[in-house]
Amino acid sequence: MSFVLNMPPSVVTKQAKSEEQDNPKKQSREDWRKQKELEEARKAGTAPAMQDEEGKDINPHIPQYIMQAPWYFGAETATLRHQRPQDDKKTDYTTSGWYKRGVKEGTSATKFRKGACENCGAMTHKKRDCLERPRKIGAKYSGEKFAPDEHIQPELLFDYDGKRDRWNGYDVDDHQRVIEDYQKIEEAKQLLKEEKLNESLLKIEDEGTSKTEQGDSEDEDKYADHVDMPGQKFETKQRITVRNLRIREDTAKYLFNLDPNSAFYDPKTRSMRENPFKNTGKEAKLLEFGGDNFVRTSGDAHVFAKSQVFAWEAYERGADVHLQADPTKLELLSREVDKRKDDFKTSAKDSILARYGGEEHLEAPPKQLLMAQTEDYVEYSRHGTVIKGQEKAVVRSKYEEDVYPNNHTSVWGSYWCAGKFGFKCCHSMLKESYCTGAAGVAAAEGSSSLLAINDESADGEAEPEEEPKSLLESHQEMLAENKKKKKKKEKKKKRKRKHKESSSSSDSEDEEREKEKRLKKALDAEDAHQKRVTTLMALDERKRPYNSMYEAKAPTEEEMEAWRMKQQRQEDPMYHFGT
C-alpha cells in the first residue's frame, strides 16, 4: 500500500491503461499483486477511477462479472455499453421488403449466351437448377424460345425477431380475396334458405293450422313409443334422446361380491377383469357377469387375435399389410395363404400316394366311427336291461385282435409248449421274431429231438414223449405240486423239531452228501451238454437246427461249479501233461 500511495497519480493512470491494453493471457504473481493493489486504491479513492470509451468514469465498486464484457461483444477497452439498452434495427414487414417470387426481369434473348442455362437459356441459373420442364432439344441447340432472366433479390437483413416472425411476407390483399369468396357462399346459402322457408309457409297456409298441430302431436307420440325402453329418456319438447351410463335396474359390478379379497375393481376405468364369483359356488351368477376378460375372449376375439398375429408375421416377411389400416387386404391375403397351404398339403399327399400307394386305406371311415353309431334300435330299462331290440353287445378285449406282425399268419399265443407261448405258424417262442414258416417248424422239431437224445444219454433211459397238455390240466398239476411242496415243508419242520437234540456234525455230513450227489448229477449233465455241442458244431451252419444253441434257463450253483470244473484252461502250464 505504501508503494501505491507514494506514486504520483499520472504514473498510476498510465500503468493501469497499459495493463488494460496489453491484457496478457497469463499474469505473473507480481503483476497480479499490483493489479489487486490498484483495485483497492480505486475503491479507497486514492487512485483515479477507470474510464470507458466515452470518457465517463466507471464505478470501482461494480462487480467484475458485470463490468467484464462477453467475448462475442468485441469490446477492446473497458466499457459498460453491453449493460445498456441496445439500438435494434427494426425490419420492414411490408410487401415491398419481402422476396419477389416469379418476377421476370428484362426481355428474352434472341440467341444463346455463354454461361446460360442449356435448357431454357436464362442467365440467372444453371441447367441443374432449372425449374422448367426438361426440353427434348435444349435452348442451347435449338436456338429459340429463350426464357427471360429472373429477378435477383438482394439478401434481406433481418434481426432476431424478424427471422422468427410467422407473419413475415404476409399479403393482406390476398387474404381479402379469401374473405370475399366466403361471403359470396354465405349469401347464396341465405338465399336458398329463404326460398325453402317461403315454400313451407305456402304449404302451411293451404293445409291449415289445425291439421299441422295434430300431426305434430302424433309424431311426438310415435317417436316416444320407439324409445320407451329402460336406460333412455325422451323429451318431447326438446326432441332429444339421452342414453344413461347403465340401466339402473342392473346390479353394479362391485356389488356382486362384497368380499375385499375377491376380484379387483378399478373405479377409474370401471373394469373388473377377473370373475367375482370364483371359488364361491355361485356358478349360476356367471350368466349375469363373468369378468371383463370373459367378454374379451368370447365371440370373434380369438379370430381377431389370429388376424393380428398373421399381420405381424406377414410384415416380418416383407408384406405391407396392417390390421387396422387395411383389413380387407389382410383378409384376402390370409385366405390366399390358407388356400396355398391346402393346395400344398393335397399335392404332397397325392405325390406320396402316387409313389407308394395305399389310397384304398384312406377311403375307409375312421376307427372312431367303425363301431360307434349305428341305425339299430334298442330300448333299455332304467336298470340297464334290454327291453326291445337286440341284446347287449359282449364286451371285447381291450387288446388289439387279429394283428399279424412280422409276416406271421397266426397271432401271438396260438402255440404253447413247455410252459411257453409262441406262434403256431413257425413254432417260434420269441414275440419279436420274423416268421420262418415250415422251416421254423422243422427246426423246432429237430431241436426237441436233440434234447430228447441228450436226456436219454444223461438218464440212461428214454422217456416216452408226452402229449401237450391244456391250460386247465397244467394249472391243476401246478396246484398239486404246490400242495406237495407244502406237505414236504411241513414234514421238514417236524423233522427239524424232532432232531434238535442231534449233533451238528451229522447235519453237516448229510448236507455234504446231498451236495456231492447234486454235483455228480451236474457233472454228468455238463458232459452230455459238451457232447451235444461238439456234434452241433460239427454240422454245417445251414443244417444246424434253429435256436439249438439257445436255452432260456438260469443255471444252479451245482451247474456253475460243474462248468468251472469241466472248463479247459489252456493257459495252465500243467494242462498239457494231462493230454
How many angstroms separate the CA atoms of 378 and 390, rounded? 6
263, 291 contact by CB (below 8 A)? yes
Q: How many CB atoms lie within 10 A of CB 534?
A: 9
Q: Which amino acid is at 572?
A: D
Q: Rounded to an integer, what distance in angstroms lies between the CA atom of residue 255 and that of residue 289?
A: 11
Question: How far apart, in whole angstroms, are the C-alpha atoms of residue 91 and residue 167?
Answer: 12
Residue type at 110 in one-letter notation = T
Cα–Cα distance, 528 to 563 (Å, whole number): 12
| Element containing residue 572 per DSSP (H, E) | none
How far apart are the C-alpha atoms of 509 and 72, rounded to whole Å? Answer: 128
Q: Give the pLDDT confidence score for residue 228 in this predicted structure.
A: 47
Alpha-carbon radius of gyration of the chain: 60
From CA 362, how far away is CA 118, in angstroms rounded? 78
DSSP H helical ranges for 114-170: 139-142, 160-163
Q: Name the pTM for this structure.
A: 0.24
Amino acid residing at 37: E
Three-state SS at 234: strand
Cβ–Cβ contacts within 10 Å for residue 116, how many? 21
Interval 482-528: pLDDT, tens: 888 888 888 888 777 776 666 556 666 778 888 888 888 888 888 88
Question: Where are the domains positioned within the chain?
Answer: 174-243, 253-343
**Integer angstrom CA distances of residue 219 from 206, 216, 224, 228:** 20, 5, 9, 14
Nearest to 234 by CA among 218, 246, 222: 222
Q: What is the pLDDT of residue 25?
A: 60
Q: Closest Cα to residue 13, out of 73, 54, 57, 76?
A: 57
Q: CA 494, 500, 504 angle in degrees (round to 5)? A: 125
Q: How far apart are the first and last CA of the chain?
A: 137
**Beta bridge partner(s), residue 57:** 51
- How far is Cα 448 from Cα 457, in angstroms, rounded to an integer? 14
The whole-angstrom separation of Cα 240 and Cα 232 is: 10
Torsion of CA 51, 54, 59, 60, to 10 degrees: -20
Distances (CA, A) of 551 to 111, 332, 429, 439, 448: 120, 71, 11, 20, 12
C-alpha cell at 251: 346390479
Give the cell for residue 311.
Answer: 399381420
Where the chain has pLDDT below 70, the residues are 1-25, 88-97, 208-248, 282-288, 366-375, 390-399, 449-472, 499-508, 549-552, 569-570, 572, 575-579
Which contacts of 490-495 are long-range, i.e. CB under 8 A and separated by 24 or more positions? Answer: none
Q: Could you tell me which residues are beta bridge partners of residue 422?
A: 415
Find out whether 281 and 287 touch, Cβ atoms under 8 Å.
no
3-state secondary structure of 511: helix
Question: Count of alpha carbons within 13 Å of 371, Cβ hemisphere only?
Answer: 4
Nearest residue to 455 via CA among 464, 444, 445, 442: 464
CB 63 within 8 A of CB 80: no
Classify strands 57-58 and 415-417 as parallel, antiparallel or unpaired: unpaired
Q: What is residue 490's DSSP assignment?
A: H
The grid cell for 78 is: 473497458
Residues paired with 501 in a beta bridge: none
Residue 412 corresponds to which cell in the numbers above?
Answer: 401271438
The string over 397-419, giving b where at least 16 C-beta atoms fall within 10 Å of a residue's C-beta and e elsewhere, is eeeeeeeeeeebeebbeebbeee
The Cβ of residue 374 has, within 10 Å, a number of other Cβ atoms equal to: 8
Strand duo 379-380 + 386-388: pairing = antiparallel
pLDDT of residue 560: 84
Q: Give the span between the Cα atoms of 59 and 66, in whole angstroms.
A: 11
Phi, psi of 8 (to 5 degrees): -70, 155
Pull the grid cell for residue 424.
403256431
Task: Record the cell numbers describing residue 483, joined without a space.
Answer: 400242495
pLDDT of the residue at 18 = 47
Is 169:91 a contact under the CB 8 Å cutoff? no
Q: E strands along 38-159, which residues?
A: 50-51, 57-58, 104-105, 149-150
Query: What gap in Å lies between CA 429 and CA 423, rounded to an integer?
Result: 7
| Beta-ladder partners of 420 | 417
> CA–CA separation, 277 vs 286, rounded Å?
7
